[in-house]
Amino acid sequence: MTTRHPLVALDRRHVWHPFTQERTASDPIPISHARGTVLHTTDGREYLDLISSWWVITHGHGHPAIAQAIGEQAKRLEQVIFAGFTHEPAVRLAEGLIARLPEGLNRVFYSDNGSTSVEVALKMSCQYWQNRGEARKRFLAFEGGYHGDTVGAMSMGQTSGFFDAFRNMLFPVDTLPYPTTWEGDERIEQKEKASLAAVAEYLSRHGSACAAVLLEPLIQGAGGMRMCRPGYLAKLAALVKEAGVLLIFDEVMTGFGRTGALFACEKAGVIPDIICLSKGLTAGFMPLSATVCQERIYEAFLGEGFDRAFTHGHSFTANPLGCAAAVASLALFETEKTLQRVARIEEIHRQRLAALSRFPKARQRRVTGVVAALDVAAGDPGYQSKVGPWLKHFFLEQGLLLRPLGNVVYLLPPYCITEAELHRAWDGVEAALKQVA
């Protein structure tokens, strides 16, 4: 019998972990430090972080430029109230984001995490219409979408399957099918057509009552790395804009290079009215988010009275340490030619996924940018598929941190991953497929 590390024993006594059945879960793995792609445990083991620690790490763990930016900022100003005050990292970050986002997205509202960035977008669109004298109450989302764990975000992600316990708390949301696709999908044209027809029909009936349409562009993350085509997004955006409804892109996961461009909306040639950013914003160093909107939305909140103002804010809004990390991270995308690294990762993903065609259990193989995914054929597909925990354990035994979403195995590595490390990861996936066969 192995003895528990004292830290783990103490953890088990006092700590409650997210998305975990505490009774049946294995002990958490104590990590002492991390560099690049590698997580080091307190007892000297190593894991390759192939999911960028829940999709937040971009350039790699412990990047010295970001650590330095945070350290320097901490010595100057760690935090200040952001109502009535401002500071250089927040202003520079807003400037940097706007310079890189598609034209028109030019007002930045800061909050703390992905869920709050979505809450902000929802509340912003609700009050936008109210300030214009229109009470629009409906929201449209897509089946399988996930937008976070706060009540508004959960409401919009009701069909993700994660929130049945909270059904009584959620507000009603309209949902329509999302045309997901994969290599060799022969029905994609049909699925896209059906989805667009459903959106057009919905907008013609409810457009004037609908405040906003929310979706994860190109990849629905937590729903199972479900991918759609950029051309579909462009057609969808045209319909939404024509109907005069606000379009919100939740780029909490897809932002900052994951899809091969800095933002997924660029690949689709779409300029949303509001975009939600978090996770990779600070390269994974600090919790921070930004909800960026078009100027006309901001202008609808201007007036003489407080009643038109956006009454939303958090204690740590625009935390200077987070903003300093994000400014440093943006610069690295240029100095380290990060998107070229992303392109190389995508190339290797494509080669290795193609080679999986010899495994009959490797279904629906798909790639967008650094995200590669496949469904492992299972009798009980979905997030609770029994093959999920088995696969996770199998990968950990090989020193690979992969955390399948049920029977969906995916890779989403930090951009610093070496070719050798990436091939090692794919070798692990092949070994797993041999075992499940």
* Contact residues: ligand PLP, CB under 6 A: 113-115, 118, 146-148, 216, 221-222, 250, 252-253, 278
Q: Which is nearer to ligand PLP, 243 or 292 (CB)?
A: 292
Q: Which residue is nearest to ligand PLP, using beta carbons?
A: 114
What does DSSP assign to residue 377? P
What does DSSP assign to residue 218? S
Q: Which is nearer to ligand PLP, 253 or 328 (CB)?
A: 253
Q: Which is nearer to ligand PLP, 244 or 382 (CB)?
A: 382
- Report the nearest approach of ligand PLP to the CB of residue 148 (Å): 3
Q: Which is nearer to ligand PLP, 51 or 362 (CB)?
A: 51
- Report the nearest approach of ligand PLP to the CB of residue 110 (Å): 14
Long-range contacts of 70-77 (CB under 8 A, 24+ apart): 70/285, 70/286, 70/321, 70/324, 70/325, 70/328, 72/324, 73/320, 73/321, 73/323, 73/324, 74/321, 76/320, 77/320
CB 119 within 8 A of CB 313: no
SS3 167: helix
- Report the nearest approach of ligand PLP to the CB of residue 181 (Å): 18
- Report the nearest approach of ligand PLP to the CB of residue 118 (Å): 6
SS3 256: coil
- Report the nearest approach of ligand PLP to the CB of residue 337 (Å): 26
Give the residue among 377, 355, 378, 365 at the shortest CA–CA distance from 410.
365
Q: Which is nearer to ligand PLP, 55 or 426 (CB)?
A: 55
- Report the nearest approach of ligand PLP to the CB of residue 322 (Å): 12
Q: Which is nearer to ligand PLP, 36 or 148 (CB)?
A: 148
Q: Which is nearer to ligand PLP, 217 or 230 (CB)?
A: 217
CB 214 within 8 A of CB 143: no
User: What is the chain's Cα-based Rg?
Assistant: 22
CB 413 within 8 A of CB 370: yes
- Report the nearest approach of ligand PLP to the CB of residue 315 (Å): 16
Q: How far apart are CA 195 and CA 197, in angstroms?
A: 5
